[in-house]
């Protein structure tokens, strides 16, 4: 078999384009989408480094083309699942009146401060405000409610589920709330940043946290057992959203339990739980959009690739199954990775 250099392969196989040239850019996107076929419901687009301006601009142009020409109705980014709800309200023309009101509360990892994310959200809001666009766009975050510096309390996601249940059955909702609130304690105890590096600082395996995991399972069980009744009293979309929040709460509690663990595989377990939850969230989003359109997911390459991911930290190398590997098993899924040529800010010189 002929071995091509990278330059030769690019010259033979690649489709050149410029983001500044709508003709070449749109042509390149159309060619890629045509090659995927109709079975792909979720397209992943990976970035090699977080926060690069050029790749974010490229993502925005890609999403616009996918919406305008290829039937995409939603974008999901590597940001907190529960936080993104307030951004989606803004995109829909409801809730906050300005982007500044959602740029911190609606994103994790400080991603709301990036100019390209503002551009994306404002474009989606303008698109949805146009009455000629029958299908309105949805904005999602598919990351777990965790940061590298700490992990959220499960209180927010559990209270979302409890509010849903209480709106339909006040007595049952109140009963669950009393038992759960008694175990939750203070958010600050869950969100202690020291727990990321010191398991003894985590409360994830405390008696209260262990009991809370059982209470969460009982809440999930009630939602599942009473599904026909709850859907009839609300609607399927509200029910499925509450069920997904309950699933996020379960996995977040598992994450906190892993934080408190002392296994040599602790970090691998944390990475795996996070990516498995990412995959679950994206599967929910694809299901929610089915019949409306397809979904573009944007995140670091490590989360979207279909094979095992690897992270080197000092002399240690950690491997785990990323979200893309899970999604490849259950959905029509394709992914476009990206690479960085030169980045002075990150110490990456000319190849």
Residues 22-68 have pLDDT tens digits of 889 999 999 999 999 889 999 999 998 877 888 999 999 999 999 99
Indicate the domain borders of the chain: 41-143+278-286+293-346, 151-262
pLDDT at 214: 99
Distance CA 61, CA 67 (A): 10
Length of the chain: 351
pLDDT at 5: 83
| CATH architecture classification, 151-262 | Up-down Bundle (1.20)
Read out DSSP for 5-21?
-HHHHHHHH-----TT-
pLDDT at 295: 98
Q: Which two tokens stand for residue 272?
A: 């795996």
| CATH architecture classification, 41-143+278-286+293-346 | 3-Layer(aba) Sandwich (3.40)
Helical pair 155-168 and 236-259, crossing angle rounded to 10 deg: 150
Task: Average the pLDDT over 180-208 and give the result.
Answer: 97
pLDDT band at 11; cut points 50, 70, 90 = confident
Residues 214-245 have pLDDT tens digits of 999 999 999 999 999 999 999 999 999 999 99
Distance CA 298, CA 234 (A): 31
Residues 98-123 have pLDDT tens digits of 999 999 999 998 898 999 999 999 99
Total-model pTM:
0.94
pLDDT at 185: 95
Between 199 and 53, the more confident residue is: 199
pLDDT above 60: residue 346: no
pLDDT at 3: 78
């Amino acid at each position: 078999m002929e071995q091509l250099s990278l330059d030769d392969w690019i010259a033979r196989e690649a489709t050149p384009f410029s983001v500044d040239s709508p003709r070449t850019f749109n042509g390149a996107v159309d060619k890629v989408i045509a090659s995927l076929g109709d079975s792909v419901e979720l397209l992943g687009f990976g970035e090699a480094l977080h926060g690069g301006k050029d790749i974010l601009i490229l993502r925005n142009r890609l999403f616009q083309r996918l919406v305008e020409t290829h039937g995409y109705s939603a974008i999901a980014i590597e940001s907190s699942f529960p936080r993104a709800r307030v951004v989606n309200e803004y995109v829909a023309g409801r809730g906050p009146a300005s982007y500044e009101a959602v740029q911190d509360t609606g994103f994790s990892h400080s991603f709301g401060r990036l100019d390209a994310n503002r551009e994306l959200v404002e474009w989606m809001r303008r698109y949805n405000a146009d009455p000629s666009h029958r299908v309105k766009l949805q904005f999602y975050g598919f990351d777990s409610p965790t940061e590298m510096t700490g992990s959220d309390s499960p209180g927010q996601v559990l209270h979302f589920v409890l509010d849903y249940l209480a709106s339909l059955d006040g007595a049952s909702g109140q009963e669950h709330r009393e038992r759960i609130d008694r175990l939750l304690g203070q958010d600050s105890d869950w969100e202690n940043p020291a727990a990321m590096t010191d398991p003894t600082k985590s409360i994830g395996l405390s008696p209260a946290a262990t009991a809370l995991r059982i209470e969460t399972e009982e809440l999930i069980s009630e939602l599942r057992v009473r599904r026909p009744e709850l859907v009839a009293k609300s609607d399927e979309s509200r029910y499925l959203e509450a069920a997904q929040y309950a699933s996020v709460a379960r996995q977040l509690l598992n994450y906190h339990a892993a934080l408190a663990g002392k296994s040599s595989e602790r970090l691998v377990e944390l990475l795996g739980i996070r990516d498995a939850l990412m995959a679950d969230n994206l599967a929910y989003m694809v299901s929610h959009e089915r019949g409306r359109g397809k979904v573009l997911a944007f995140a670091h390459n490590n989360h979207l690739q279909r094979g095992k991911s690897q992270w080197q930290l000092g002399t240690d190398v950690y491997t785990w199954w990323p979200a893309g590997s899970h999604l490849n098993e259950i959905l029509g899924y394709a992914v476009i990775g990206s690479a960085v040529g030169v980045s002075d800010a990150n110490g990456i010189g000319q190849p």
